Amino acid sequence: MFLKCFGRTNSSKGRYPTIIEELCHQFSLSDLRKSTNNFDENKVIGRGAFSKIYEGCLQSHDASDYLVAVKRFKLEYSDMFKKEIELLCQLHHPNCVSLIGFCNDKNEKIIVYEYMSNRSLDQHLQRGELSWKKRLEICIGVARGLHYLHTGAKRSIFHCILRPSTILLDANMKPKLAGFGLSMQGARFDSKPKQINADHFMDILGYMPLDYVMDCVITDKWDVFSFGMALLPVVCAMNYSVIAIAREVGREHLEKLFEENIDPNIKGKISPECWQVFADIMLRCLELKPDERPTMGEVEVQLEHALALQEQTDITNIHGEYTLLSKTILPGAIGS
């Protein structure tokens, strides 16, 4: 659609494989300057480690305006710019943000994405405005997106920096994965460990599995762990250092800890049947040994099951509120 809407710029022809040029539009720098009011600070909607993201406004052939997100890379990170385009070109899934085009000017590296008007999940969680069912639906969408990355593209893709700020929400509150700047590609359906450099990942230690810290390798189970960590703020109000301590004392205590720290905005809304399935899959994602973590396909199925159980119990629940009764007893050291 966008290839039809805009003429092609010739400035960077030949620098990219033909397939990329055919798949996405190349914008001129002046197009993007105009769309962001010359990269106006008031148009900034996000700041990454390697880039700044602006809200842009483009015009299609029929003269109607539409919004886009314009990611302007710091020049020293042009490798990441290239990697992200090559990767995004291969992705076609309703739960992955779509690439609209890019600008490969000598002094400006910019990627243009579809605009996600409800921004990132972390902002909604901070405001505490999402219902439990909506949170579950968002988790399912994210799981579908990750499952697609791991098994649906020509070679598996590991997102690597999944967290609530890289989960974006469209106008219908449908989640889409974004932030592919540090993603890795493996072999098809293969979770063969891939050695990587840790430097870029230091700001996401909370989402980083311990197996990586020890071995410096990446597999699909990295994303599964990060997904488990990303689920935590979806249900709980507690900080990651507590979880790090609780992991040492085992699964039952962790479950109890989660249950006691459920976000007050959704307390009483989670049915015990749903919680049992949800907590089980969340805890399995956080297993210390990667082989004991589920695949994203399994996570997706279990979360869909949890949602079905919630809907079923909501129909028959005449009291409106639920009480979760964990059978486990938390030792004083963890509870205090």
For binding to ligand ATP (CB under 6 A), which residues are involved? 45-46, 48-51, 53, 69, 97, 113, 115-116, 119-120, 165-166, 168, 178-179, 181
DSSP 8-state code for residue 295: P
Cβ proximity to ligand ATP: between 115 and 207 the closer is: 115
CB of 87 to ligand ATP, least distance (A): 12
Query: Max alpha carbon distance in the chain (Å)?
Result: 67
Please give the Cα distance from 32 to 124 (Å, whole number). 29
> What are the tokens at 240?
């990651």
Categorise residue 224: left if φ over 0, alpha if ψ from -120 to 50, beta otherwise. alpha
Please give the Cα distance from 217 to 235 (Å, whole number). 29
CB of 45 to ligand ATP, least distance (A): 5
Cβ proximity to ligand ATP: between 97 and 309 the closer is: 97
Cβ proximity to ligand ATP: between 78 and 165 the closer is: 165
Q: Is 71 annotated as a binding residue?
A: yes
Dihedral of alpha carbons 141, 142, 143, 145, sign: positive
Please give the Cα distance from 166 to 160 (Å, whole number). 11
Amino acid identity at 312? Q
Cβ proximity to ligand ATP: between 45 and 217 the closer is: 45
Cβ proximity to ligand ATP: between 204 and 249 the closer is: 204
CB of 241 to ligand ATP, least distance (A): 22
Cβ proximity to ligand ATP: between 41 and 321 the closer is: 41
CB of 146 to ligand ATP, least distance (A): 15
Q: HSE on the CB side for 234, CA within 13 Å?
A: 27
Own/partner pairs, 2-6, CB within 8 angstroms, 24+ separation: 2/100, 2/101, 4/61, 5/60, 5/61, 6/31, 6/101
CB of 86 to ligand ATP, least distance (A): 15
Task: Give the CA distances from residue 171 to residues 100, 118, 144, 179, in Å, rounded to whole numbers and listed in that order.
Answer: 17, 6, 19, 19
Please give the Cα distance from 264 to 64 (Å, whole number). 43
Please give the Cα distance from 169 to 149 (Å, whole number). 18
Residue ranges for the binding site for ATP?
A: 71
Residue ranges for the binding site?
A: 71
